[in-house]
Chains A and B, each alone.
Chain A
Amino acid sequence: MNREKDKTDRILRIAEIMINELKLEDVTPASFDPDMDLVDEVGIDSMDLATVALVLQDEYGIRIDEDDYPKLTTVRLIAEYIEEKLSE
């Protein structure tokens, strides 16, 4: 139960960071579809992704390898990636 809540909270926090850093309009963390493709549907580019990755590194105390960027295509996948890093 707690694990599911942690996951949901993390998804919301990542969405919040995404919205703040990329100045996305007309969307809130709660309304941000975690399965939306960030490149195709949100329209983020490599510079946006790098910016968000730097902030996420600070937030969670992890290192996000540059080579892993291509995997981080949705908020949910980013949340799972972070979870994996935290468990290492």
Chain B
Amino acid sequence: MELDSLYQEVILDHYKHPQHKGLNPIFTVQVSHVNTSCGDEITLNLNVENNIITSITWDGQGCSISQASVSMLSDLVTDKTLEEADAIVKSFSELMASKGTSAGDPEILEDAVVFAGVSKFPGRVKCALLGWMAFKDAAIQSQGESK
């Protein structure tokens, strides 16, 4: 069933057991993003020390794809430098724009390659990107903060 390429076990697992959910009161930058087409919302707290992402926490409501996606993102970028995180976000964005033609780079994206199936469902790409775009925004703002 094609639906199974969208709803991979690991995605539903992250949805059921979201990682880094619950906002850490210590943060460098806080951002809130909304998916205007469905009303999904996310608030994301990012803490950066010496260019290293020491904490990323979030809260919000949304579908399994958006919730699992931000959960996996949080796992992926914690303890990375801002430059490393930026490369991960770029790779993920490319995967989402691939319309099902890319399997994703497991070296960079690790478990997040399971979202490759999402790129075949144009209506869901925005769901998968909600948390990532919030993080990208926060990362850019954090660079402004440290200057």
A, B assembled together? no
User: A-contacting residues of B (Cβ < 8 Å)?
Assistant: none
